[in-house]
Amino acid sequence: MRSFKVTAFGGALADTQSETPVPTGTQVLLKIAACGACHSDVHIRDGFFDLGSEGRMDLSRGVPLPMTPGHEIAGEVVALGDAAAEMLSVGDTRVVYPWIGCGTCETCASGDEQLCRKPRNLGVNVDGGYSDHVMVPHPRYLVPFDPMPITEACTYACSGLTAFGALKKLGTLGEGDPLVIIGAGGVGLAAVRLAESVTGVAGIAADISSDSREAAMMAGARDVLDPSAPDAMRNFVKGTGGAAGVVDFVGSAESARFGFDILRKGGSLVIVGLFGGSLVLPVPHFPLREVTIRGSYVGSLPEFHELMDLARSGRFGPVAVETRSLDQADATLYDLKDGRVSGRIVLVP
Ligand SMILES: [Zn+2]
Ligand SMILES: [Zn+2]
């Protein structure tokens, strides 16, 4: 099989050929038809996250090289281990839940595999989807997506699920509870599309780019704002009373600070983005305004099933994707790194 692999952190992806593996036990071999390119693949290729004044978070220990990135994978079942044959058939098409844990610890048993301390995440810890084939350890990670197009379905595994998991943490909001979505890139736009179905209210999208704000309006945002405009924070709070919920899909020091500053009393900020940086905050604001800051990492397997059921029913409308040949995997990561991408890119082998 042909795979584009990280062979040295910071270098280009290597175009490699290897023996196509044969599934055993509960394993399922998928022939990949689509794999979304995600900004976190850039970090995986680079080998670190920027932690601002705290330096860098080294990923080299958790990412064994050589490793095939790509975690938004969909394709067709082409071979099954004996123990998987009752649950799936050759020819079935599925989208992969990639946030796989050890499968045996208490965290995994509770359904939160994405938080397992011994992760086997596809495209992060084990080989993923920048390839023509991928091995999945068990049929339970394979979810139907029909009647959606496969190039859209794959994007639900990370950008869709990440948006869904973050919005779910805000619970149900009412008409008078402003929801702000910071960053209308790939994941942020997914959140704009999902917001009303998940929280009950449409989101207000905050982005420094006018193109992204326009895309957010097209995707169903209630309103947009430019957080870099003079007095953006004060005007928002004056006009709305402050946000009940904010999801920060950028994750920079500036975006998180903006999200924190626009919260109303009792409001919650959920940080999702991995841009990097560090945040210094006035501690008395926590007790006096009873605000919450929490993180959100992708989503659980039960959440993925819930999301795919909603998506298959046509609740969210189509995802705008640009398809590119798998040959362009490395160039695509540079485009993502340099901010030359709006919306989702899906690689097709
Ligand atoms: Zn991702
Ligand atoms: Zn586990």
Say yes or no: 171 and 154 in one domain.
no
Among residues 254, 273, 295, which one ends one of the domains?
295
User: For residue 37, how far is its CA from the centre of ligand 1 (angstroms)?
Assistant: 7
Say yes or no: 282 and 303 in one domain.
no
Among residues 295, 311, 334, which one ends one of the domains?
295
User: For residue 113, how far is its CA from the centre of ligand 2 (angstroms)?
Assistant: 6
What pLDDT is stored for residue 83 in this prediction?
Answer: 96
pTM comes to 0.93
Say yes or no: 303 and 291 in one domain.
no
Q: Quick one: average pLDDT of 68-73?
A: 98
Say yes or no: 236 and 140 in one domain.
no
User: For residue 136, how far is its CA from the centre of ligand 2 (angstroms)?
Assistant: 16
Distance CA 133, CA 127 (A): 10
Q: Looking at the CA of 187, which ligand is closest?
A: 1
Q: Side chain identity at 43, as an amino acid letter?
A: H
Among residues 259, 276, 295, which one ends one of the domains?
295
What pLDDT is stored for residue 175 in this prediction?
Answer: 92
Say yes or no: 9 and 141 in one domain.
yes
Pairing assessment for the beta strands 204-206 and 223-225 based on DSSP bridges: parallel
Say yes or no: 121 and 203 in one domain.
no
Say yes or no: 149 and 264 in one domain.
no
Q: What are phi and psi for residue 196, nearest 5 degrees?
A: -65, -40
Distance CA 327, CA 81 (A): 30
Q: Side chain identity at 224, as an amino acid letter?
A: V
Say yes or no: 27 and 150 in one domain.
yes
Q: Select from 303, 346, 345, 344 the least CA-distant residue to 184.
A: 344
Say yes or no: 67 and 107 in one domain.
yes
What pLDDT is stored for residue 117 in this prediction?
Answer: 95
Say yes or no: 101 and 184 in one domain.
no
User: For residue 158, how far is its CA from the centre of ligand 1 (angstroms)?
Assistant: 5
Which CATH number fits the domain that encloses residue 116? 3.90.180.10
User: For residue 225, how far is its CA from the centre of ligand 2 (angstroms)?
Assistant: 41
Q: Hey, which residues does 182 pair with through a beta bridge?
A: 206, 248
Q: Looking at the CA of 43, which ligand is closest?
A: 1
Say yes or no: 287 and 259 in one domain.
yes
Q: Looking at the CA of 115, which ligand is closest?
A: 2
Say yes or no: 42 and 148 in one domain.
yes
User: For residue 224, how far is its CA from the centre of ligand 1 (angstroms)?
Assistant: 25
User: For residue 186, how far is its CA from the centre of ligand 1 (angstroms)?
Assistant: 10
Q: Looking at the CA of 98, which ligand is closest?
A: 1
User: What are the pLDDT digits (tens) for 135-191?
Assistant: 999 999 999 999 999 999 999 999 999 999 999 999 999 999 999 999 998 889 999
What pLDDT is stored for residue 218 in this prediction?
Answer: 93
User: For residue 296, how far is its CA from the centre of ligand 2 (angstroms)?
Assistant: 18
Tally of domains in the chain: 2
User: For residue 38, how far is its CA from the centre of ligand 1 (angstroms)?
Assistant: 4
Q: Which domain holds residue 318?
A: 2-158+299-348
- The pLDDT of residue 52 is above 80: no
Which CATH number fits the domain that encloses residue 197? 3.40.50.720
